[in-house]
Amino acid sequence: MKDRKLHVIHLAHELFIEKGFQATSIQDILSYTGISKGTFYNYFSSKAELLMAIFKDSYKLMEKERDALLIGKSPQSIEIFTQQVEQQVMFNHKHQLVSLFDEMFISDDLELKAFIRKGQLRTIKWTYYRFIELFGENRRAYLLDMSIIFLGILHQLSKYYTELFQSSVSITKVVRYSVERIVEMTNQVATKEVQLFSPSLIDTEINDLLGTETQQDEIKHICALMLETETLTKDEELLIQFIQDELLLRKKPRKFLIDSALETLKRTDSICNKGRVLRLQFIVNNATSQS
């Protein structure tokens, strides 16, 4: 992204926080950022697109900070997951994304509503794959349910805790309480073998709604995180790079070669985050079945 465009996005973010998205006019944006109307429409087709650009830029930074907490740490650690959720919630509050999100939510703009929906699905998806790492592959059948429940608990508790205590809000207390409850619920649901949503929805309906571009970004993201593993050998690094190139550069990825590479990575101790290998396997199966 061009530096000047990114500068406009950051200034508009400040303005939307100060005045609110709905109350801010295009002229307000032009005056505050110092750009012409022609430049504005060269960057964005509408005020709504500018708002979406703000969220994309913010969440890109948030995801980078969140994922950095995993580097060199065990993905099976509940403590690390809790810290990731705390970081995400605090980031949202720091950048006042919640109030902007609320304005998007009540908007009549269909494009904004679709953008919100995709953002919610991305969060569910991230939580689901982290839960596989935390609770194990043998509980996969119940973890899409648990992901949705957890996000609902976290959202509602954060909302009412903030309203009731305001300046004395403890994000850590809310997040840790929510994580403790979902651990208990997951153990209980797994024991009773109760399921509402099938995990297959992740690789069918949810992926369809997110679109191909999002999946390509996800492949790059997963491979980049795997390549940051400190104990990675040169051969394992080459395997990860090979898988990425096959999925992103080849029109018809060679599944038998990718499967072989993934099987090798599954057997190594260097890739502690097995959930990422499993996610790549799902992407491979889905991509090759459609080709």
Spatial separation of the C-alpha atoms in residues 285 and 215, rounded to whole Å: 13
Does 101 score more than 80 pLDDT?
no
Phi-psi category of residue 268: left, alpha or beta, with phi > 0 → left and psi -120 to 50 → alpha: beta
Number of residues that this document lists for the chain? 291
Question: Pick the residue with more confidence: 204 or 225?
Answer: 225
Position 250 scores a pLDDT of 82
Position 287 scores a pLDDT of 60
Q: Does domain 1-44 have CATH number 1.10.287.610?
A: no
Does 151 score more than 90 pLDDT?
yes
pLDDT digits (tens, 9 = 90+) for 243-252: 889 888 888 8
Position 72 scores a pLDDT of 73
Does 290 score more than 60 pLDDT?
no
Please state at what angle helix 110-135 crosses helix 78-94, rounded to 10 degrees: 160
Phi-psi category of residue 59: left, alpha or beta, with phi > 0 → left and psi -120 to 50 → alpha: alpha
- Beta-carbon-side half-sphere exposure of residue 53 (alpha carbons within 13 Å): 21
Average pLDDT of the residues in 163-185: 83
Does 176 score more than 90 pLDDT?
yes
Spatial separation of the C-alpha atoms in residues 284 and 128, rounded to whole Å: 18
**Residue 128 · residue 143 · CB < 8 Å:** yes
Spatial separation of the C-alpha atoms in residues 57 and 91, rounded to whole Å: 13
Does 289 score more than 60 pLDDT?
no
The domain locations on the chain are 1-44, 57-192, 211-290
**Residue whose structure tokens are 């992204």:** 1
